[in-house]
Structure 1
Amino acid sequence: MDRSSWSSTDNFSTVTETADREQTTTTTNYAPANVEVDLSYENDTAYGDALTWYSGSLTSSALDYRHENGRRYHKYRDGSYLLPNDDTENDRLDMLHELCLQVLHRRLHLAPIENPRRVIDLATGTGIWAIDFADQYPDCEVIGCDLSPIQPTSVPPNVKFLVDDIESEWAYDRHPFDYIHARYLAGSIKDFAKLIAQCYRSVKPGGWVEFQDWDVYPTSEDGSLDGTGLRRYYDEVYGAFEEAGYEVRPGLKLEQWFRDAGFVNIHVEKFVIPYGVWPKDPHYKKLGAWAQAQAESSGYEGIALAVLTRYKKWTKEEVLVLASQARADARRRDIHMIFNFYVVYAQRPEN
């Protein structure tokens, strides 16, 4: 597909060069100047089916997990990751996978990799990206790494999953990777600069590293988000993540982290993702439907429970009230919330 046809709005690219480091950065912005509201939304029922769950849950391994406030959490390196790993959360992660495919027009990656032989997917979650990638590249060894062994057991023969903490020193990089992939790590990593430097050391000269991630603080072009329960939810929840030491806006900073690590040929692509089916443009309407679907599947509670109860001493009931208020506002047709999503990929120099 012609990438220029991805958006109904104007795209722009800029190229900058740094002579002393021979770096090139290409920035492509797929974020429109504004996302037009569909005034016929009152009578729009075409996207109701899109708010159903994307796939059935994947079978989780029966391990000694941490159970808290009615949700299940990882036990290995207990407390490192603050979101659940139960079936409800796994379904949400699979819906986020579909949302990313919609954003990237069914592409698993944007980095121009060719015939990769060894690839790792960091914080693989349910493993759905690693499995799809292994199907697409059957001659490639694909490793999925995560704190939780929640991946399915029936997978392509060229996939294997490891339980490990990607913020610790890697013990599986003796043979460098052709390509390293990570996505939506916002709120789960404390030191992105260190992680990306580890990626630099672990990818082959000429190999590519790609991160796809959020600025988790939403905006609204018409100010409709101001003063709402939604705004309070994101301020309270992600403010707590930041106080706990987690980076929640990595999308904005990935380019600099890649540059500081020594990467070249850095490409930055920014996408707008609306929340809900209020946009007039069919593409943005579909993205909004998937964004709402994943949040409706207990996403508000799942993201907020551990960080607010462990770090801010909220009660479970207080968190549920906050989540309920956010969900109620999210269903309002006069609130036009959008998120910015970034895809940044870069190359380790050949020399």
Structure 2
Amino acid sequence: MAEPSPQEPATTSTNNVAANVEVDTSYENDSAYGDELSSYSASLTSSVLDYRHENGRRYHKYRDGSYLLPNDESESDRLDMLHELCLMVLHRKLYLAPIKKPQRVIDLATGTGLWAIDFADEHPGSEVIGCDLSPIQPSLVPPNVKFLVDDIESDWAYESNPFDFIHARNLTVSIKDVGKLIKECYRSVKPGGWVEFQDWDGYPTSEDGSLNDTKLQLFYNEVYGAFEDAGYEVRPGPKLEQWFKDAGFVNIHVEKFAIPYGVWPKDPHFKNLGAWMQAQAEASGFEGYALAALTRHKQWTAEEVTVLASQARADGRKRDIHMIFNFYVVYGQRPEN
């Protein structure tokens, strides 16, 4: 099927929702560090590994406080489950953009690095970089993937050695200015190259109103309210299309997916998605999601967070509460000219 002309800022949309349902200079090069990235182990500094421990959870130390979720083993388990969930949503696809033989690829906020590793296996001829604030990725990885400790909200230095494909996923509550980040992606992708973001509308809903006035709804209202007050973007998904347009991308494509929470759906596919959604949420505990945001920015005590998290978890296990999250996949192309 012929692709739309790159000269036309065409946008296509597919709605899959069921009707009912600061930089450490010790490793910074004086030029663009794309070609000269040191190995993952050599890039680590003592400040990166000096983790912050708080309320029984472990957090990143590099750029301390800029990311409010833990980076401990429980959180890594959650991120791995979330990777599997996203693969299920996309029918085992890592991406939807129509890329062809990419040479240089970067995965922003790579987390445990599974997306970057899987992509490197799938495209052995490509060089894949995964960057994150925390060095929590495995050491045994394909030879064409490397990990970098970096802050993607700082100024980039990739323009002189741009990428064929830039990927980002699950940046909800992680980034303060997603629109600015997407403009950085535009500057750092080759003409004709593609950028794809996969992200959420953080606030859940229910088609039958069963979420209303529950402790589960209260949990997300309180936690996301704390993130918003701290300046973080909690609803990037539905805004991605406009941000891509504002940055100058063309051939923009949008897909929206409904992800239930729990095993209440009748449809086997949605039931399976709901089970995984609930499993990843409980893997790190609701506390992990809420502790730093509420204790650092809303003066809650850890005990108060624990009580609310326990109540939300209990609500999440009720089959008569039909909570749904909306997940968006948006990709666009930098014009050839």
TM-score, with structure 1 as normaliser? 0.86
**Correspondence for 2:218:** 232
User: CA shift at 1:28, angstroms?
Assistant: 0.4
**Correspondence for 2:188:** 202
Residue segments in structure 2 that go unaligned for 5+ positions in a row: 22-45
The match for 2:84 among 98, 111, 118 is 98
Q: Could you say what the CA RMSD is over the residues aligned between the two structures, in angstroms?
A: 1.6
The match for 2:111 among 102, 112, 125 is 125
Report the residue type matching 1:29 in the other structure: N
Task: Figure out how many residues of one structure are paired with residues of the other and give that number.
Answer: 309
CA distance in 1, matches of 2:300, 2:138: 34
Are 1:23 and 2:33 matched, yes or no? no
**Correspondence for 1:51:** none
Spell out the pairing of 1:1-351 with structure 2 (5 A cutoff): 22-35=8-21, 63-351=49-337
Report the residue type matching 1:219 in the other structure: T
User: CA shift at 1:173, angstroms?
Assistant: 4.5
Report the residue type matching 2:334 in the other structure: R
Contact 1:17 1:25 in 2 (8 A): no
User: CA shift at 1:170, angstroms?
Assistant: 1.5
CA distance in 2, matches of 1:173, 1:108: 25
TM-score, with structure 2 as normaliser? 0.90
Contact 1:268 1:344 in 2 (8 A): yes
- Post-superposition, which runs of at least 4 consecutive aligned residues in structure 1 deviate over 2 A? 171-174
Does the C-alpha gap of structure 1 residues 307 and 17 become closer, same or farther in structure 2, counting only changes over 3 Å? farther
**Correspondence for 1:54:** none
- SS, match of residue 23 in structure 1: coil
CA distance in 1, matches of 2:328, 2:244: 13
Residue segments in structure 1 that go unaligned for 5+ positions in a row: 1-15, 36-60
CA distance in 2, matches of 1:111, 1:93: 23
CA distance in 2, matches of 1:350, 1:299: 45
CA distance in 2, matches of 1:137, 1:183: 19
User: CA shift at 1:172, angstroms?
Assistant: 4.2
- Tell me the alpha carbon deviations over residues 7-46 of structure 1, each in whole angstroms, 9 at most, x when there is no partner: xxxxxxxxx999xx731000000001112xxxxxxxxxxx
CA distance in 2, matches of 1:122, 1:333: 36
CA distance in 1, matches of 2:272, 2:145: 31
CA distance in 1, matches of 2:71, 2:258: 27
CA distance in 2, matches of 1:252, 1:94: 24
Report the residue type matching 2:276 in the other structure: W
- SS, match of residue 317 in structure 1: helix
Report the residue type matching 1:33 in the other structure: A
Report the residue type matching 2:219 in the other structure: Y
User: CA shift at 1:299, angstroms?
Assistant: 3.4
CA distance in 2, matches of 1:193, 1:336: 32
CA distance in 2, matches of 1:163, 1:17: 37
- Please say which of residues 325-334 and 163-172 is displaced more in the overlay: 163-172
CA distance in 1, matches of 2:229, 2:236: 15
User: CA shift at 1:203, angstroms?
Assistant: 0.3
Report the residue type matching 1:72 in the other structure: R
Contact 2:5 2:251 in 1 (8 A): no
- SS, match of residue 84 in structure 1: coil
Q: Percent identity?
A: 79
- Tell me the alpha carbon deviations over residues 306-340 of structure 1, each in whole angstroms, 9 at most, x when there is no partner: 00000001000000001000000000111010000
Contact 1:240 1:307 in 2 (8 A): yes
Report the residue type matching 1:125 in the other structure: G
Report the residue type matching 1:89 in the other structure: E
Report the residue type matching 1:95 in the other structure: M
